[in-house]
């Protein structure tokens, strides 16, 4: 793209950006120091040593707060300087775009801005339209991908909340820059993933004995691996009456019946083919091992089918990580390892998912290798040990894990380990479809007990307003 020339970045802005980078690196070092000292404290029993480590933690925490404030202040100063610079040096082509963006709600604009940034380019949202447009213009594009500014405009054009008088001028501007908007939209719709997201949370924090609250939403995700792409969601009401013992919550035994009703609703009311439906179950830590893919739903008067056989995919996710503050400290590692996953999607699972063994207490993943994004394991037969393992994995920020419920099927996991990370969900779904076709129930259960945690931190369960649905 032959953009009109603009003035080079002023020296003052360059210096502040260098200083900001140094502070960000120091902030990351302090975070690591805090984690190391906290880990040492948790494994220390000597009271005097604990007091010493507690003082170290207090000092590090104060430094974290100070450096964080300095980073925020520098970011604000840089944005103000860039805005001032832009006011006197904006090319006509960019100024035309800025004028078109001005009537659009700023939250809508920033949503498209975050969605168009690829992995590794996450940055604070600029405070002005001018700074936002110039930043996107200056970011180099990825090979075989639209330039970030054009991708931003194409995403904004697809925003359902835009009025026609806002969308049409943007389409005209995009065409003058050589962007075929309709082709982009058609391609994204064609490849969209249709997800039934089911959220299961204890009614009381960490207390499953009072039952579970369940919510559901239908989501069309046109770019599953685009970080921070905010999606339009459709809530699905749940008509299954709650167990009187747990009302307004549900018992664990109610969950298969709820999934049956939700799958029926997706087909009857929303016209979603079963073979295109991806089920994502957000489960609390004590339910992570539920055989969701074995739950059945009604497809005729007498005919029943397994979710793992007819649906495109069934994936386990963590409701604790998304909705509990317990794992907030590990959220940075979670995003870091997910972004790493995006860069090595063609790596074999045997290399990217390292073997751990909860039965002998080997639960720590070696994250030093840039090719490691998760783990694979055989599940412990003790329920408490299973919960302890999930607590450990979520605390490490593990985004992806593959495991089996029966040690006799270890070879099944080894065969899947040869596929790539990008192929894992599809390969597992195909394996389940074959396994769940067995006539013998024992063979069916044994062959289809592979499970997958595939937890994208940028695709949380949506915030939905049932009153406006």
At 14 the pLDDT is 81
Its pTM stands at: 0.61
pLDDT tens digits for 103-140?
888 888 887 887 777 544 556 778 788 888 888 887 77
pLDDT tens digits for 390-412?
999 999 999 999 998 765 555 55
For residue 250, count CB atoms less than 10 angstroms from its CB and return exposed for 0-12, middle for 13-18, buried for 19 or more.
Answer: buried
pLDDT tens digits for 415-453?
677 788 888 888 888 888 887 877 776 666 665 678 899
Cis upstream peptide for 83 (omega within 30°): no
What is the dihedral sign for C-alpha 358, 360, 364, 367? negative
Beta-carbon count within 10 A of 396 CB = 19
Interhelix angle 129-138/47-88, rounded to 10 degrees, is 100
Separate counts of helices (H) and strands (E) for the chain: 17, 11
3-class DSSP state of 198 = strand
At 191 the pLDDT is 52
Q: Reply yes or no on whether the pLDDT at 469 is more than 50.
A: no
Angle at 77 (CA atoms; ends 76, 79), nearest 5 degrees: 65
How large is the average pLDDT for residues 177-199?
65
Q: Reply yes or no on whether the pLDDT at 189 is more than 70.
A: no
Could you tell me where the beta strands, DSSP code E, fall in 251-372? 277-283, 296-298, 304-306, 313-318, 353-355
pLDDT tens digits for 353-394?
999 999 888 999 999 988 899 999 988 889 899 999 999 999
Question: CA separation (Å) from 194 to 218, 274, 311?
Answer: 7, 10, 11
Distance CA 279, CA 299 (A): 17
Highest mean pLDDT among 188-197, 340-349, 413-422, 442-451: 340-349
Distance CA 79, CA 118 (A): 21
At 142 the pLDDT is 59
> What does the buried/exposed string (b/e) look like for 268-300 if buried means 16 or more CB atoms within 10 Å of the residue's CB?
eeeebebeebbbbbbbbbbbbbbbbbbbebeee
At 186 the pLDDT is 42
At 248 the pLDDT is 84
pLDDT tens digits for 223-274?
777 665 666 678 899 989 887 888 888 999 999 999 999 999 988 888 888 8
Q: Enumerate the β-bridge partners of residue 400.
A: 374, 454
**Which strand (E) or helix (H) includes residue 217?**
strand 207-221
3-class DSSP state of 355 = strand
Provide, rounded to the nearest whole percent, the portion of the chain with pLDDT above 70.
83
At 185 the pLDDT is 45
């Amino acid at each position: 793209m032959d953009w009109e020339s603009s003035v080079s970045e002023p020296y003052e802005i360059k210096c502040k950006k260098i200083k900001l980078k140094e502070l960000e690196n120091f902030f990351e070092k302090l975070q690591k120091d805090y984690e190391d000292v906290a880990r040492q404290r948790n494994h220390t029993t000597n009271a005097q040593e604990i007091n010493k480590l507690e003082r170290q933690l207090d000092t590090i925490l104060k430094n974290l707060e100070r450096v964080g404030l300095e980073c925020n202040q520098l970011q604000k100063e840089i944005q103000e300087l860039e805005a001032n610079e832009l006011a006197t040096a904006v090319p006509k082509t960019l100024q035309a775009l800025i004028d078109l963006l001005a009537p659009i709600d700023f939250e809508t604009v920033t949503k498209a801005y975050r969605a168009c940034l690829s992995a590794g380019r996450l940055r604070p949202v600029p405070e002005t339209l001018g700074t936002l447009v110039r930043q996107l213009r200056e970011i180099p594009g990825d090979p075989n991908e639209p330039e970030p500014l054009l991708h931003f405009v194409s995403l904004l054009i697809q925003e359902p909340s835009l009025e026609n008088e806002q969308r049409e001028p943007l389409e005209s501007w995009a065409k003058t820059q050589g962007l075929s908007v309709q082709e982009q939209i058609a391609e994204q719709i064609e490849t969209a993933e249709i997800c039934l997201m089911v959220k299961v949370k204890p009614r009381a924090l960490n207390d499953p004995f009072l039952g579970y609250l369940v919510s559901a939403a239908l989501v069309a995700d046109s770019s599953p691996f685009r970080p921070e792409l905010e999606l339009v969601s459709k809530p699905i009401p749940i008509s299954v009456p709650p167990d009187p013992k747990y009302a307004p919550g549900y018992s664990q035994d109610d969950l298969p019946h709820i999934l049956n009703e939700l799958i029926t609703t997706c087909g009857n009311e929303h016209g979603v083919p079963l073979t295109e439906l991806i089920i994502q179950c957000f489960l609390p830590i004590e339910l992570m091992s539920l055989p969701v893919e074995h739950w059945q739903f009604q497809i005729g008067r007498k005919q029943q089918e397994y979710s793992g056989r007819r649906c495109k995919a069934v994936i386990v996710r963590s409701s604790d990580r998304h909705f509990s503050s317990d794992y907030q400290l590990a959220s940075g590692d979670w995003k870091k390892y997910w972004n790493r996953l995006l860069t090595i999607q063609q790596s074999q699972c045997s290399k990217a998912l390292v073997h751990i063994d909860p039965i002998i207490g080997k639960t720590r993943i070696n994250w030093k290798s840039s090719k490691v994004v998760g783990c694979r394991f055989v599940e412990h037969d003790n329920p408490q040990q299973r919960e302890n393992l999930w607590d450990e994995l979520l605390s490490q920020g593990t985004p992806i894990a593959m495991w089996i419920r029966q040690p006799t099927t270890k070879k099944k996991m080894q065969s899947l380990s040869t596929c790539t990370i990008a192929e894992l969900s599809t390969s597992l779904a195909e394996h389940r479809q074959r396994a769940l076709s067995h006539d013998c129930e024992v063979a069916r259960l044994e062959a289809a007990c592979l499970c997958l945690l595939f937890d994208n931190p940028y695709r949380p369960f949506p915030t939905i307003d049932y009153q406006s649905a």
